[in-house]
A = this chain, B = another copy of it.
Amino acid sequence: MNNSASPRATAPRGRIRRENEARILEAAERVFAETGLAGATMAQIAQASGLPKANLHYYFGTKEQLYQAVLTAILELWLDATDAMLPESDPALALASYVRAKMRHSRTRPFASRVFANELLSGAPYLTDYLEIDLKQRVEAKSRIIAGWIADGRMAALDPRHLFFMIWAMTQTYADFAVQIRAVMSVESLDDTAWEEATDEVISFVLRGCGITPAASAP
């Protein structure tokens, strides 16, 4: 009778729903990452999630809705990345940690990166608002900070927007075009050391590219 004292006695409301939705979203991300919205099939996602196809429709309605749910989750992840690029930051440290975060992202969430890439390749029909509003504003805000650093002579003069395009490209290539990298490096997969090396290469390159001599030390 005192089960009210133990709210976990049976199960919280909607627990099953939450678990299954997460399971489906994860499988859908993997499948959409390979072939995009048009190329993926609900049967593939069903098999990848280990659930019958009808179950996906029960939770998400249509394929488009499931796709949008996947995209939304990715965007939240994308926008969450709280990067410490403030006017008073040290450009070297700020840029290095930005690149490092992007590289970590490419390693831990490669499928998210590929879904995003697929969406951009097909003209981003589901992302116009994000690109033209959220992303644009964030880039403008950060560009002003970088412009400030340049004005203060703390880094080379360059167009901050292109700097972002280049950093995104360099870091995401390790997720999106991993096959190409594995083939050229002749490895089955990149291990911890290889990822550290890659990250260090990109950071050094970016800092030099920005005309910054890598900071003496960064504890």
A contact residues vs B (CB 8 Å cutoff): 33-40, 114, 117-118, 120-124, 128, 131-132, 135-136, 139, 156, 158-159, 161-166, 168-170, 172-174, 176-177, 179-181, 183-186, 197-198, 201-202, 204-206, 208-211
Q: How far apart are A42's CB and chain B's nearest CB, in angstroms? A: 14
Chain B residues with Cβ below 8 Å from A124 are: 179-180, 183
9 new A-B contacts at CB < 8 Å, known A36-B38, A158-B201, A165-B177 = A35-B36, A38-B39, A117-B177, A124-B180, A131-B184, A156-B204, A164-B184, A165-B173, A205-B210
State the copy count for this chain: 2
Are B180 and A135 in contact (CB-based, < 8 A)? Answer: yes
Instruction: Say what secondary structure dominates the interface of chain A.
Output: helix
Are B36 and A183 in contact (CB-based, < 8 A)? Answer: no
Q: Which of B174, B179, B209 contacts A131 (CB 8 A)?
A: B179
Are B176 and A117 in contact (CB-based, < 8 A)? Answer: yes
Q: How far apart are A96's CB and chain B's nearest CB, in angstroms? A: 14
Q: Which of B35, B120, B170, B186 contacts A39 (CB 8 A)?
A: B35
